[in-house]
Structures are given as C-alpha cells and as structure tokens.
Structure 1
Amino acid sequence: MLNKTIRIISGVFFSLLIFNFVLAERKPKAAGGDEKIELEKEYVKLYQKFLNEEGNQGYNIDVESISNSELGRFRGQTYLDYTGSGLYQKSQLEEIYNDFIKNAYGNAHSRNPSAELTDKNLAEARNLLYDFFNISNSTHSIVFTGGATGGLKLIGEDFPWTKGSKYYYLRINHNSVLGIREYATLFGAEFKALSYNDVEHILSRRKKSAVNNHLVNDLLNHKYEDYCLFAFPGKDNFAGEKYPLSWIKDVQNYGLSDNCEWKVLLDAAALVPTERLDMDKHPADFAVVSFYKLFGYPTGLGALIIRTDDALRLKKTYFGGGTVVMASCDSRWCKMRENPSAKFEDGTVSFLSIVSLKYGFKKLEYFGMDKISKHVASLTLFTFKLLSNMRHFSGTNVVQFYGMYHSLPNSGIINFNILYPDGTHVNYSQVEQLASANNIHLRAGCFCNPGACQDFLGLTLTEIKTTSEIRESCSDPSNNGNKNRPLGSVRISFGYLSTFRDVYNFVRFIQNNFVH
C-alpha cells in the first residue's frame, strides 16, 4: 500500500516529465553537435525542475564546482557507490602528503621526538572523534581498528559470553554483524535474528509490562550475572532504511528478554557518512565506523567506540605489542594496560593513517553534517521520484524498489531491480555490466546483507545454499537467478560530493537501455 502511495504522489510531479523523456528517445537523434546541444537543453530543463522541487530542501550547488576541481579522476564518469566507499578529494591527499613530507612520525611505542609527535597526533585524532560524536574521554574510549569489521570482531571475541547470554540482531544486518554469533555460540549462548516488527513488538510489550507492574526502577537498577547483546545498523547498507536510535536506551532499560543485562552494539558504518550521530543522546554501549566510508581515505582504518564502563566488562584474551605493561615468557602471566584504548589496540596502530584523519574531517566540516544530510536527501528523493514514474510504452513499471520505506527514501540509497514490459526481471548483473560500460559506478548483488536479500527478494535457505555451491565470493555473478526469480538487486548511493549531473546521467542510462 505504501509503495502504491509513493507512486501516486510522485506521479503527480513527474509523469509528464518522464513521458517527455520517453518521447525524446523515440525521435530521430540529431547529429553530432546538434545532439549535444539538445542533451544539454534537456539537462538544464530537468535541473531547473529539480531546483524548483528539491533544491530548496538542501541541495548544495557549491558541490558542483568542488566536484569538478577535486574529482578530476572521475571526469566523464558517474559515481553512485558511496555506500561502498566515500571519495577522497585531491586537495585532501595533497594536504596529507605535505604533512608527511614536513613532519617526521615514528612508532608511538618508542620514546623519541618522532614518536612523541605521533603520540600528540593520535591524541588529536581521538579528540576529533569525541567532538564528532558529541562524547568525551571521561565516558567513552576510542579504539582504532582495521575497519568496522575489525571492531565487530573485537566485540565478538571479548564480550563476556556465558551459557545464559543471548545474541539478538536485526535480520537486516551486514555479514560482519552476523559473524559475531559464531563467538556467542562457542560459549553456549543463544542467538536469534529479529525483524523490525519483532523488535518494536518486544519493546512495546516489555515497556508496557514494566509500567503496569511498577517495575521500571527495578529494571533500571537490577544487575544480572549474564550479559546479552543486541546489534543493529543505524542505517542498513541494502536499502538505506534508518532504524530508530531510540532502540538503544529502550533495549538497555527494558531488555529483549528476562534475566539478562542487555548491551547494544550499533553498526554506524553506513549511517555516519550522511548523518550526524550524537552518542551522548544515543549512548550505544559499542559503535563501529570505517573512515573510508566517510571521506575515501585512509582505507583499512576504523574505530570502535566503547562506553568506558562497558570496556571494563570485556574479557580480553589475546594480547599483542603495546597492550601490556609487562609479560612473562615462562608462565601464563601478563599485566594488561588499564586504558581501554591502549588495552585493545594490539600492535602498532596505523599511525600515518590516523594522522590523515584530520584532513578528511576538515572536508566534512567545510559543509557540516546537517547540510550534507539535506544535500544527499534532495538527490535521493528526486531520483526515486523519477525512477518510480518510469513506464514502458505498455504502461508497466520499469523499476521495482526494495526496502520498508516508512517514508520517502532520503538516506542516500536506492535499491531496485529493472523490469521488462511483461513484469519479469532484467538480470541485475546485466545492469551492472552495462552501467560499467557506460562509466557508471554502482553495485549489484546482495551487498553482504543476507537477511535483506532473504526478506525483500524472498530467497529461501535452500536457494542460498544451492547458489553458494557454484560461487566463490559474494560478488561472484554465477547463477543470478532468472527473469522470475532474481537472487540480487541493484544499488545506487549518493554522498556529500554527489551532484545533479550524477542523477541526470543515471536516469538517462536507464531510459536509454531499459525502457521499451
């Protein structure tokens, strides 16, 4: 019903515009320079339509000149895979390498001038993150990791699992979140995948029961022997659905089951490139991010943000260089460092990458996260409206969307498949390959999010297992289903350097190749 409503609403604004596009495609094309002139006129007309409809909602025109000067390597190309990776700016790299040329950085585990300079910059980087997430070093610790996945793995390894523990996670979650269940089950803990409605129902029931039975204070103050963990994404990487951050306090206060102290793990990797995350307001026990998702460089670096009182509960097993005060080689004895950041950062951190962070954050701060959110939302919504109104000449839909869409999509992600006039599906790999041939960067498949593919595409466990037998990786295009049964979909995603030209190029690509 909601998707039908969305189509009707967007149809009011865009049916005539799309119809004109379709007619333009059926006309004989002008030759050479005349064709370019006509295309530019078409672009200007649609651009003005966009500015009138969405531009005042937050589109940042300044991005166009910045994109032209900073992203020269993408000239003539259309980048729509920001959820896969953010983009670094030319001046960002220049500032980084000028820093490296001028300053001598050394291993912070040493005690010499280059090490001290590194130490100073590591502290500055942590302070940047404290400010970015509106937290302080008195309440939280920043642990640098190899990426969001590294942070998730650390929690899986060190969470205080017991036989009475439970690991619950939202069905629509990244593989890296699902993988934690392997650690949980080693200790005999229970695991369960919950739907959005499951979480809402459980929390509603438990809050109502607590209030009716006057148990709110008891729940808030009672301490249990067993710890349980609930994990969910702030924004899923499949369709861009943003989940209620109010779940964090609700799960902490009321739990998802009895006889357990519930902790919350927030996968913020897809959320923070386009949204401000206030962790003082939404105090997740653990949160993970990857920095290349925010601003393209550096790769291989992320952060695990831990509430300091929760860090004390983690049970660290392995210890590496830099995490111990002293250790014995003859007996099983070592003294761990007490500072959580130092305790959980095994080995030498990627200090040159960490030094680079300030230049990436500088680029985000130039716009501000609130403006970035509005900019991305305007492009997402306009593109969605255009695609939702595309029709074949028979009148059937060109695009089938995936996602819950509690509201019109504005989070930067649109997930879909292309339909033939008879309603069957164009192979998503065919769309991906044709897009690549047209210098359009997008992604297709299941995006390491099996729950989303199962729920939105209706895949069964049998189909998943059968397909896995002939594939070597999640991006392997072998056995992509048939016209009636897609085993994946197409995803486009916008970021803070996206422009309207990207929208136009993509819409024309779909129009030229898939409208019949």
Structure 2
Amino acid sequence: MSIDTKHIQTQFPILGEKVNNHTIVYLDNAATTQKPNIVLDAEINYYRTINSNVHRGIHTLSQLATMEMEESRKVVQSFINAKKDYEIIFTKGTTEGINLVASGLERLLKAGDEIIISQLEHHSNIVPWQLLANRKDLILKIIPVDEHGDLILEDYKNLLTEKTKLVAVNHVSNALGVVNPIESIIQLAHQAGAYVLIDGAQSIPHLKVDVQELDADFYVFSAHKMYGPTGVGILYGKEHLLEVMDPYQGGGEMIKEVTFEKTTFAELPFKFEAGTPNIAGNIVLRKSIEFIQSLGLKNIQHHEDELLKYATQKLEEIENLTIYSKNAKQRAGLISFNLDIANTNSSDVGFILDKHGIAVRTGHHCAQPIMKRFEIPGTIRASFAVYNTLEDIDLLVNGIQEAKKMLL
C-alpha cells in the first residue's frame, strides 16, 4: 500500500493553519509530531464521557476508565511484542523512563562499576547516568563515532569489561538521524554480562520495534513523537529486572500496605506508577498506535525513506551547504545540515524559513557532545512524518535559497 499523503493531511487539522500568511510546512517532527483527529477526538471523548480516577473506585466511571487504560497497556504490549502487559510502565515520557531506570538500578551498583553511553546521545540519555555515576562513584565510558556519525563498534567492544553493568544508547539519533546497530550492541553487552537500555524516542514512529527479538532489557519512548499526546511515555522492562528494582517514586497506587513502621509495594506495573497518571493521555496513546497500524509501519518507513532520499538529493544541489552523516550506514526520519556562510548560524536560517511558514529545528538539539565532535555549534534539522510530501521538501529548498540570498 502506498501512502496517500493528501488524504492523511486532512486528518491533521493543524496542517491547514497559516503561519506568517503561508500554509504551514511542518518539518519539526523529531521534536514532536502533530496529532490526527482519531487522537484529538479520543482525548475529548474521555473527558466528556468517562472522566474518573483509575484503579481506585467501584463506581461505573472509574471501572470504565480503568478498563480503557489497561486496554491501552495491552495495545502497547502487542505493538512492541513484550511478553507481559505488566512489563509496560506508563511514564510521562522518554526522559522519565530513563531516570526511572537510573534510580531503580542504583542499589544494585557499586563503586567502580561501569556504564557505557555514546557520543550520539540526547542529553536525556547522558545526564541521568552522570548523576548516577557521581552518586555511586561509577565509571562512565563513551562510544565514539566516526566521521559519518556511525558508532565505532570496535571501540565499543574494547570498552566492555567484566565491570560493565549497563549500556544505554539510542536507536536513532535525534541530531543526525543515524540508525544505530542496536542488535549488535545488545548482543555484545549481554556477552559481557551487562544490561542494555535503548532510547527509542526517535525510532518508534519510523521502525518496527520487537523487544523480544532485540532482547532489549529496557526500551523507552514517548507518545508525542508518534502522533500521540504529550506527557505520556512508555518504559518497557524485562519482568525480572523490574522486580528487583526499587520504586522511583512513593505515593498512592504503588503500595500494597502502608504503616508507620513499614511500607510494602504493589505488584508490577503499579510499583512504578505512583500517583494519579495521565489517564486521558495513556488511553489516547492506543489511538496513535491504531493510526500507525492502519497505515502500516513498512509503508510509513518506505514513504519516509523516499522523503529522506529526495531531501538529500535536493539539498546536495545547493552550494555552500553541508549535510551531516549523509554517508552513514543507515539513516531514518531526518536530515541535518548547515549553510556554510560566514557569520551565519542555524538560527538565522530557521528564522527566515519560519517567515515562509516552514517549521524546522535549529541549534544543538539537546545533543551538544555530537556537535562538539563535528566542531559545530548546531545544525538545521528537517525531520519527517507520514503527512510530509515531496512538495514540502521543494518549499524547504526554495526557502533555503531565499535565506542564502539574504545572508550572503
């Protein structure tokens, strides 16, 4: 099945909005995707028809809300092929999922243990491990990247030792769009006796994810990157690891019994879901998955690969423009570039593009270490979704040409 972008666009009301008197060309999907009617309508419907707290009431509305949220958990389980629905933990996003794991594993680590991350990571997959390393006197090691933005696997192999306890890497780089060889990364880590956390924030809307096939110990992602609501995320963790981890937060819902002398914790997944959750968002996440499945991930991937190929071709025709990681082994979802004009930065170009109604992201993309690796302060990032078209890319190219005229 081919992607009918014109039909798909009609399902996203915001795409008909005007920005600076231009119909919006939205190319900032790596930051957040727009939401289709199926998602918007479901959120409104929840508040209009079954709004109630979950897991705590015997009345009808509470039972209905609980049923809907737990059904959503099962849909996520199926979507990523987790063994058990209670291996799916609702969070408020990828960042909280990573912090939850960092906190939960703390008791199991000791001074001198090692954690490995990469130069490609978002700050959300750097800072939690730095904080943990500082608290526990751990050693943080970094997998370097080559000139194409690919991780250097030979160096990674040499970093692994018997003291390595965790490897945390992203599936797809938010700054460069490089797809990392996580199958090999996971296999090598397990051979060394280490656990693996995969940051899937940028992969989940673009690639098929099967956590059992990958054998990932933890996999985290956010709903708003996959046509869902903000403030909702998923942490998948293997049952035996979640069982031995300490709770991330204390409060209601995550307890079995509380006395002033002692508290015992609830079973999975509620052990890690303290307080009232984002009930509407958790329910609506199911609708974003249904939207993706209605189109087919293979079809989405093919469409976005065509967009990436076309964008690379058209941008390469522009003089004084550098595309980063264009020769990486595999890319997905975005293209990162700069105009090589003296005294010009990425924000200058982004500002001019915005005047033409074109939304891109500029700057370091919360990935300053990889910017330092390429000796640049930031890039212009155009990132794609299923509703983007070749015409969007043509408008982007025209806008860049206009920017060049103004900045030279």
* CA-CA distance at 1:162 after TM superposition: 1.1
* Conserved 8 A contact 2:353-2:400: no
* Matches for 1:285-304 after TM superposition, within 5 Å: 285-295=217-227, 297-304=228-235
Distance 1:169 1:204, change over 3 A: closer
* CA-CA distance at 1:190 after TM superposition: 1.1
For 2:176, the equivalent position in structure 1 comes to: 239
CA-to-partner distance for each residue in 1:417-472, whole Å, 9 max, x for gaps? 1123xxx463211101111111110111000011211112x2xxxxxxxxxxxxxx
Q: TM-score, normalised by structure 2?
A: 0.90
**Is 1:429 paired with 2:347?**
yes
Separation in 2, partners of 1:59, 1:74: 26
Separation in 2, partners of 1:404, 1:172: 15
Separation in 1, partners of 2:246, 2:199: 21
Separation in 1, partners of 2:258, 2:305: 52
Q: Which residue, 164, 169, 193 being the options, matches 2:142?
A: 193
Distance 1:495 1:120, change over 3 A: same
Distance 1:307 1:450, change over 3 A: same
The code of the aligned residue for 1:335 comes to T
* Conserved 8 A contact 2:360-2:382: yes
For 1:65, the equivalent position in structure 2 comes to: 7
Q: 5+ residue gaps in structure 2?
A: none
The code of the aligned residue for 1:235 comes to V
**Is 1:282 paired with 2:282?**
no
Q: Which residue, 263, 274, 277 being the options, matches 2:195?
A: 263
For 1:453, the equivalent position in structure 2 comes to: 371
Describe the SS at the equivalent of 2:212.
Answer: coil
The code of the aligned residue for 2:213 comes to K
**Is 1:130 paired with 2:77?**
yes
Separation in 1, partners of 2:197, 2:272: 17
Separation in 2, partners of 1:123, 1:96: 16
* CA-CA distance at 1:104 after TM superposition: 4.5
Separation in 2, partners of 1:69, 1:357: 17
CA-to-partner distance for each residue in 1:194-246, whole Å, 9 max, x for gaps? 21467511565699xxxxxxxxxxx9xxxx8x771111000010010000021
Q: Which residue, 324, 343, 350 being the options, matches 2:255?
A: 324
Q: Which residue, 26, 31, 49 being the options, matches 1:84?
A: 31
**Is 1:170 paired with 2:91?**
no
* Matches for 1:285-364 after TM superposition, within 5 Å: 285-295=217-227, 297-316=228-247, 318-329=249-260, 331=261, 333-339=262-268, 341-364=269-292
For 2:336, the equivalent position in structure 1 comes to: 415
* CA-CA distance at 1:348 after TM superposition: 1.4
Identical pairs, percent: 21
* Conserved 8 A contact 2:202-2:225: yes
Distance 1:441 1:149, change over 3 A: same
* Conserved 8 A contact 1:156-1:184: no
Describe the SS at the equivalent of 1:169.
Answer: strand
Q: Larger Cα Rg: Structure 1 or Structure 2?
A: 1
* CA-CA distance at 1:174 after TM superposition: 0.7
For 1:488, the equivalent position in structure 2 comes to: 378
Q: 5+ residue gaps in structure 1?
A: 1-57, 208-218, 256-260, 391-396, 459-485
* Conserved 8 A contact 1:290-1:302: yes
* Conserved 8 A contact 1:167-1:189: yes
For 2:388, the equivalent position in structure 1 comes to: 498
Distance 1:206 1:68, change over 3 A: closer
Separation in 1, partners of 2:61, 2:99: 31
Q: Which residue, 86, 94, 114 being the options, matches 1:148?
A: 94
* CA-CA distance at 1:496 after TM superposition: 1.3
Distance 1:430 1:203, change over 3 A: closer
* Conserved 8 A contact 1:170-1:194: yes
Distance 1:227 1:356, change over 3 A: same
Distance 1:68 1:187, change over 3 A: same
The code of the aligned residue for 1:403 comes to S
* CA-CA distance at 1:168 after TM superposition: 1.1
CA-to-partner distance for each residue in 1:258-310, whole Å, 9 max, x for gaps? xxx31001000011111111111102111111000100x31111011101111
Separation in 2, partners of 1:342, 1:227: 29
Separation in 2, partners of 1:176, 1:342: 24
Q: Which residue, 111, 124, 132 being the options, matches 1:183?
A: 132
Separation in 2, partners of 1:124, 1:228: 34
Separation in 1, partners of 2:32, 2:98: 19
Describe the SS at the equivalent of 2:219.
Answer: strand
Distance 1:494 1:74, change over 3 A: farther
CA-to-partner distance for each residue in 1:359-384, whole Å, 9 max, x for gaps? 21221112111111111110111011
The code of the aligned residue for 1:169 comes to I
Instruction: Count how many residue pairs are aligned between Structure 1 and Structure 2.
Output: 394
* CA-CA distance at 1:110 after TM superposition: 2.7
**Farther off after superposition, 99-108 or 240-249:** 99-108
Distance 1:387 1:59, change over 3 A: farther
**Farther off after superposition, 317-326 or 120-129:** 317-326
The code of the aligned residue for 2:154 comes to H
